Amino acid sequence: MKTTQMSRLTSISLAALMLAGLCVSAIATPATTQPPIFQAQATAKKRLVVMDFDYGTTNSYYSSYRGVGAAKGISELLINELVNNGTYTVVDRSKLEQVLKQQNRSGSMDIGTATEIGKQLGVDAVLIGTITKFNVDKQSGGGSFMGIGGGSNKTKAIVQIDLRLIGTASGDILATAKAVGEANQSDSNISVMGIGGSSSSSNEDTLLSAAVDKAVSQMVTKLAEVSKKLG
């Protein structure tokens, strides 16, 4: 009988010890918690509207460039490149034209007018620009020796645009920038005793287009840099 009681007491003691060990283990080892998951929130893009660029000078190349005039043609190119770049949300041109039509506005605009239109379109900023250079310069030179003459022609296209970014909330100039694009072509011609040959292939429109593309590329890069400062 005593042996049975001792066995029972021993079993109970062992069970109690095991239970106590489990409790201590549970207290000593805290429950594993999953680290919080943070979802990065994409920074909202600034909404931008690009006005038709202005003329700071005039020459015959303006009216014929790409069929719509240099100013409008360049601003349209910039819109396309800004959309492809993705830094800004660019307002569709048709919405801008609708507002301009409603207000019976056309031509160049001052900062106050541009700000007013920007507010109506619900944008953060308005981009206005002035084409200050849109030129094709030509230089020629040459000489002759013992009846053999040589000459060279150099053609250079240069396009410069000055930009101003206007905040619609304040009407202040948030940033300014200048973009310059250049394209060059050199031709040569040789004549022997009055019989000449030429390698000239001057194409002023092609050079101007190349200069415009370079200027537009600069504008996109600079506007992307400015966007980081807008907050």
pLDDT digit string (tens) for 63-98?
Answer: 555 545 677 888 999 999 999 999 999 999 899 999
pLDDT, position 160:
92
**Whether the Cβ atoms of residue 123 and residue 91 lie closer than 8 Å to each other:** yes
Mean pLDDT, all residues of the chain: 74
Give the residue extent of every domain in the chain.
Answer: 47-230
Phi-psi region of 199 (alpha: psi -120 to 50; beta: other; left: phi over 0): alpha
Residue 103: what pLDDT? 84
Paired tokens of 146: 């013992």
> Does the pLDDT of residue 120 top 70, yes or no?
yes
CATH 3.40.50.10610 fits 47-230, yes or no: yes
Return the pLDDT at 201: 42
- Say what the pTM is: 0.67
In this structure, of 14-28, 54-68, 210-224, the range with the lowest mean pLDDT score is 14-28
Residue 221 has pLDDT above 90, yes or no: yes
Question: For the segment 6-16, what is each residue's pLDDT rounded down to a tens digit?
Answer: 455 455 454 55
Contact 161, 223 (CB under 8 A): no
